[in-house]
Structure 1
C-alpha cells in the first residue's frame, strides 16, 4: 500500500484514491470523470467569486464599478489606479474606523502618499480641532482641495480642520568632511622595456 499523499482538487479524479480493483472498472471511471468535471466547474466559479482578493489584478473599469458597489468613501474616477486600488482595499476598514482620527490618517496616506494628524491637545488648539500634516513635497493645490472635499466623508462631524501643513523637516544627518594636502615632489614613472 502506498503512503498518504496530497492531491490537487482541480484537475484530479477521485479514482487516484481508490484501490486498484475498483479504479479499473468502466462504471467507476465514468462516474469519476463526471464528478471531476463538476468539481472543475465549481473551482472555476470559486476563482471568479474571489473579487475582493483580486483587486490588484482588476482592470480600471472594474475597479470603478466595484467602488460604487462597495460605496467606497473618498473615491474619485480621476484618481490614479494605485490610489483607486488602495481606497477599494481599505473600504471595509474605512467603515469600521469612520469618524476616527485613524480614518483621517488613512485618507492622508492614500491621497498625499504620507502624512499624519495632530489633535488639538497636542498643539494647544481649540477643542475638537486638528491639523493635517503631509511630508510629500509633490502635492499641489488641487490635491489639497481634493483632500478637503474627501475629508468630510470620513471625519467626525464635530471635528474641524485648522490647517494642512507641508512638513519638510528632516532628521539630523551626520556630515563627514575630509580633505588632503600633498607636500613633496611629483615623480613620473615609466615602464622599462628590455
Structure 2
C-alpha cells in the first residue's frame, strides 16, 4: 500500500475550506473514486520506466511511436521490451555494425558478423555465420530484411553460412566420425555473386576403441 492509498485528502484542505460540509463531502467522494480506480494504475503512467508492467497493446503502441523496424505484435514480451528500451540508441547508431548486432541480439538471433577485411573478402562486403538455426517461421527472411534495414548503404552481404554438426557413431567398426557441414545462402541480387549452391566442408575425427 502506497502513501496515496493511506492519505486523507481532506486533511490537506486549507483551514478556511474545512468548514464547508458540502465541499468536504465532495472531496471524500472524489477521494474514494481516486483510490478505487486510479491509484493502483499510477505506476503504469511512467511508461518507459515500467515497461515490464505494461499490457501488450500498450507496448505495441509505444513501439509504433518509436517507429521500431521489424517490430511485430506476435513477438514475445521480453523481445518487445528489449526493442523498445534500445530503440533510441539503435536509431542513433543506424548504419553501423554495432546497431545491426544489437538488433540481432534483441531478437535472439545468435549470428556472427564478419567484415571483408576480417576474412579476406571483397572490399565493402560482409558475411554472416550462425550455428543456431531458429525454429521461427521465415526467420531467415526476417534476418536478411533486418540486415538490409540497419546496415550502411555501401556494405553488401556476400554470404550467410549455416553451420550444422552431424554426429555418427559406428561401434562395430571401432571409430567415431563427426561431420561439420557449412551451408552458404545466396547473398542477393545487388552483387555479381550468383552461386545458388554452396561450399561444403567437413571435419572427420577418428578414435580407435580398444576392447
Q: TM tier, shorter chain?
A: 0.5 to 0.7
The 1-side partners of 2:136 and 2:160 are apart by 12
Which structure features the higher share of helix residues?
A: 1
- In structure 2, relative to structure 1, the CA distance for the partners of 1:59 and 1:130 (3 Å cut) is same
What is the DSSP-based 3-state SS (H/G/I as helix, E as strand, rest coil) of the residue aligned with 1:79?
Answer: coil
What is the DSSP-based 3-state SS (H/G/I as helix, E as strand, rest coil) of the residue aligned with 2:72?
Answer: coil
What's the TM-score, normalizing by structure 1?
A: 0.59
Name which of 80, 96, 103 aligns with 2:99.
Answer: 103
Q: Which residue of the partner structure matches residue 53 of structure 2?
A: 57
Unaligned runs of 5+ in 1: 1-7, 14-25, 28-33, 170-194
Q: Which residue of the partner structure matches residue 74 of structure 1?
A: 70
Question: 1:121 aligned to 2:89?
Answer: no
The 1-side partners of 2:71 and 2:159 are apart by 22
Q: Which residue of the partner structure matches residue 171 of structure 2?
A: none
Give the CA RMSD over aligned residues.
4.1
Q: Which residue of the partner structure matches residue 153 of structure 1?
A: 149
* C-alpha contact (below 8 Å) 1:118/1:132 kept by paired residues: yes
The 2-side partners of 1:131 and 1:140 are apart by 21
Higher mean alpha-carbon deviation, 123-132 vs 107-116, is at: 107-116
What's the TM-score, normalizing by structure 2?
A: 0.55
| Number of residue-to-residue matches in the alignment | 157
Q: 1:19-66 CA distances to partner (integer Å, 9 max, x unpaired)?
A: xxxxxxx89xxxxxx9xx8xx9xx989744421112222222112111
The 2-side partners of 1:130 and 1:78 are apart by 30
Query: How far did residue 162 of structure 1 move?
Result: 1.6
Q: 1:166-187 CA distances to partner (integer Å, 9 max, x unpaired)?
A: 3568xxxxxxxxxxxxxxxxxx
Q: Which residue of the partner structure matches residue 185 of structure 2?
A: none
Question: 1:133 aligned to 2:163?
Answer: no
* C-alpha contact (below 8 Å) 1:117/1:132 kept by paired residues: yes
Q: Which residue of the partner structure matches residue 88 of structure 1?
A: 84
Unaligned runs of 5+ in 2: 9-17, 20-26, 166-211
* C-alpha contact (below 8 Å) 1:86/1:110 kept by paired residues: yes
* C-alpha contact (below 8 Å) 1:108/1:134 kept by paired residues: no
Name which of 160, 165, 173 aligns with 1:164.
Answer: 160
* C-alpha contact (below 8 Å) 2:95/2:153 kept by paired residues: yes
